[in-house]
Amino acid sequence: MTDSAIEKRSGTSVEILPGGPVTGRVRPPGSKSLTNRALLCAMFASGQSTLRGALQSEDTEVMIEALRKLGATVVSSNHGKTLVIDPVPKTPSVAPPGELELFIANSGTTIRFLTAALSAAGGRYRLHGVPRMHERPIGDLTMAIQPVLDGTIVAISPGGCPPVQIDSRRWREGTIRVRGNVSSQYLSGLMMAAPISGQVTRIEVEGELVSKPYVEMTAKVMRSFGAGVELQESGKHNTAYQISAGGYQATDYEIEPDASAASYFWGAAAITGGKVTVDGLSSTAMQGDVRFCDVLQKMGCDVDYQSDRITVTGRSLRGVDVDMNHISDTVQTFAVVALFASSPSRVRGVGHNRYKETDRIGDFARELRKLGAQIDEHDDGMTIVPNPRPEPFAGASLSTYHDHRMAMSLSLAGLRIAGVQVEDPACTVKTYPNYFHDLEQLIGRSHRWRSE
């Protein structure tokens, strides 16, 4: 069954059938984080850019459609893996007369990156999305922009949530301050917007920065497009970046496979005592989520890092106490792996996960409990107690809350537990449309599909 067919079927669920050790190799699609960052830089670059290895998914399509509406030309080939971008020709503002309305669906990177970029470029815009997007806070970002903005920016919904209304005559030169403990995407958006403003900008982070590898990734992408990014201060509570006013230069850019997506396949090896190789990633990858392999190593797995691949071999698993602040997109994968450890596991430093596509602590704990697991929630994470009852884990129908990471991570439980059904599998279209097909190919057996 193709993924496009899955999308069209309402009430669909998928059951992953248990089996023996998972052994094989896989190359996930391109990184969503890198694709959307590169798209934004290319949009404001000096000439035509080419992105290779790009991700084709709902989140990247939302960004591409927004760029097209803003006036950029984006030509896709090679099944969406190659994108040629001719930037917006208008200067100094990308905006046509009047307010331009942009639909962002539920793409957090798109709304955060464009909110900052369009306020720096100038013009009038209204950015809105699906109902869940209008519950995801963005007020810290709009407040950070206000001191340098010649104009107004406001998050309309209660609690500082989208829609976002922008009326801008670009940024003034100055210093921006943003809290670091809410979302690294705020800082990344501000950093990428700064070269667009034509002003020298200093960005200071207040407090500890969450998901720091994503910010380092942002700086590397910006430099690849010719922007000047200087880390002036670095510490737990004193981080600052100086961004030059030189703008972006067109480039030919290669995108790595998605390391967050790779975590599911490494997790499959850990859970089943198998051996899985993910091609296209290494210990020096730009994406911090390759460090998920270090967590699996602490749990007892063998990890082999090569220059073009990473292999995880599953062994007897032990519980760990780990801070996953810097790799928070892999927390759900970790929690499922921890179900099969010999002792409890605790994950810390990921309180911000409650404000993602869904509450990835509370909602995820609720679904794992359906299997018979004992999950204790904390403000900054959770404790996973493996097999707390005399009887084994039981199968269940698991809700995904239209969250792609819920669906992909919960599917791993079915590799060991009979009767695990994952509802709404098509929600993986957000970042990995072919996930269930690739998992099926890796494990060497078909899933069981159901439709109401």
Catalytically active residues are: 329
SS3 261: helix
What values do phi and psi take at 63, rounded to 5?
-65, -45
With tokens 């904390």, the residue in question is: 378
Best CA proximity match to 272, nearest among 443, 444, 449 = 443
| Contact by Cβ (8 Å): 227, 45 | no
Q: What is the CB neighbour count within 10 angstroms for residue 227?
A: 24
Whole-angstrom distance, CA of residue 28 vs CA of residue 176: 36
| Contact by Cβ (8 Å): 450, 421 | yes
What values do phi and psi take at 37, rounded to 5?
-65, -45
> DSSP per residue over 349-411, as a string?
S-GGGGGSSS-TTHHHHHHHHHTT-EEEEETTEEEEES--SSSPP---EE--TT-HHHHHHHH
Strands 345-348 and 381-385: antiparallel
SS3 334: helix
Q: What is the CB neighbour count within 10 angstroms for residue 423?
A: 21
Best CA proximity match to 129, nearest among 71, 42, 59 = 59
| Contact by Cβ (8 Å): 28, 265 | yes
With tokens 């815009």, the residue in question is: 125
Q: What is the CB neighbour count within 10 angstroms for residue 216?
A: 17
Best CA proximity match to 50, nearest among 37, 38, 60 = 38
Q: Which residues does 133 contact at the CB level (< 8 Å), separation at least 6?
A: 104, 105, 106, 107, 108, 111, 161, 162
Q: Residue 38 has what DSSP assignment?
A: H
Segment holding 272, helix H or strand E: helix 259-272
Cα separations in angstroms, 191 against 155, 185, 283, 295, 341: 20, 10, 25, 30, 40
Phi-psi region of 317 (alpha: psi -120 to 50; beta: other; left: phi over 0): beta
